[in-house]
Amino acid sequence: MITKTVLADTIFQTIKQGSCYISPDVHYAFEEAVRSESAEVPARALTDTLASLDRSRERISPACPDTGWPLFFCKVGNEAVIEGGILALEEISKEMVARATKEGFLRSTMKHPLSGDDPGTNVGVNVPGFTYKFVPGTDLQITFVAKGGGSECFGGTRYRVVAFADGTAGIKKTIVDWYIAAARAGAICPPAILGIGIGGTSDIATHLAKEAASLRIIGSHHPDTEIAAMENDLTDALNGLGIGCMGLGGKTSVFAVHVEYSYTHIAGIAVAMSANCMVARRATVRIDDAGQVEQLADPHWFNGR
């Protein structure tokens, strides 16, 4: 059985790690971008950001003060036994978000949308967010994502319907136009990891986009060759825009484009975009039936990716 004690300790450590430790794939993407950048200003932006991220890890201090929305993505084994069930998992997650906020690993960012009232805990109506996927087995896998406000609020998150008649050209044009509008002046903290959801209802498309942006690692490819080609083509095209790190110009404008799709009603094709900022904060752990905890570099949220 996965006990409440193990859950509390593991979830707290995962929040701390998600906020303070950059993932290996993101670190590598920064190193590559530093190597390829020749213009002085974006080169400095990339180098200084990487230096700051490395120091955040040493000091166990947030990679960015905007720790954004606390989101939990859980892969729950169909036979997993959790003390107190899923309700205990949610209750403990909320308590640990509040604790991490009090101790300065998260900023007290979540407020009432109209009054701006700040509970000081990041816990309130419908936050933190919980998303579940049920899988075979007895393990419980938890990914904590600190979803930054820049990439969420300033045009990095979009939705529209494209006619089937407009085809992939219509989908790609929308993404180019959205990305330019969102990344200019560094609004979404580029180079972003861009998640694209195609098909489904609006909520299915936006979920796919968010999960593709936040849970797939840089360098992963969709197994469908047509989709993988779309990912590569969009990455190349967006990197040619000259937006650069924090919109200062330069060669690297996106770290990755991840596309996921759903079968759909082809009267209109839902297209959703979700951008994750360049520091792309997430941490994943797996807890087995005996309470053993293992950290994972890749959430493998989608089958094999």
Of 69-108, binders to another protein (CB under 8 A) are 102-104, 107-108
CA distance readout (Å), 23 to 13, 58, 119: 15, 14, 30
From 5, 31, 132, 176, residue interacting with another protein (rule: CB under 8 A): 176
Which residue lies nearer to another protein by CB, 81 or 153? 153
From 15, 33, 46, 212, residue interacting with another protein (rule: CB under 8 A): 46
User: For residue 250, which of 195, 194, 190, 193 has the smallest C-alpha distance?
Assistant: 190
* Interface positions, 229-248, toward another protein (CB under 8 A): 233-234, 236-238, 240-243, 245-248
Question: Does 51 interact with another protein (rule: CB under 8 A)?
Answer: yes
Rg of the chain's alpha carbons, rounded to an integer? 19
Could you tell me the smallest distance in angstroms from the CB atom of residue 106 to another protein? 8
Q: Which stretch binds another protein (CB under 8 A): 47-55, 78-86, 204-212, 291-299?
A: 47-55
Token readout for 14 is 């995962």
**Per-residue interface string for the shown chain with another protein, residues 204-233, x marking contact by CB under 8 A:** -----------------------------x
Question: Does 266 interact with another protein (rule: CB under 8 A)?
Answer: no
Could you tell me the smallest distance in angstroms from the CB atom of residue 65 to another protein? 4
Which residue lies nearer to another protein by CB, 79 or 177? 177
Which residue lies nearer to another protein by CB, 33 or 71? 33
Which residue lies nearer to another protein by CB, 225 or 303? 225
Which residue lies nearer to another protein by CB, 271 or 283? 271
Could you tell me the smallest distance in angstroms from the CB atom of residue 107 to another protein? 5
Question: Does 127 interact with another protein (rule: CB under 8 A)?
Answer: no
Which residue lies nearer to another protein by CB, 59 or 78? 59
Q: What are residue 156's phi and psi, to 5 degrees?
A: -80, -10
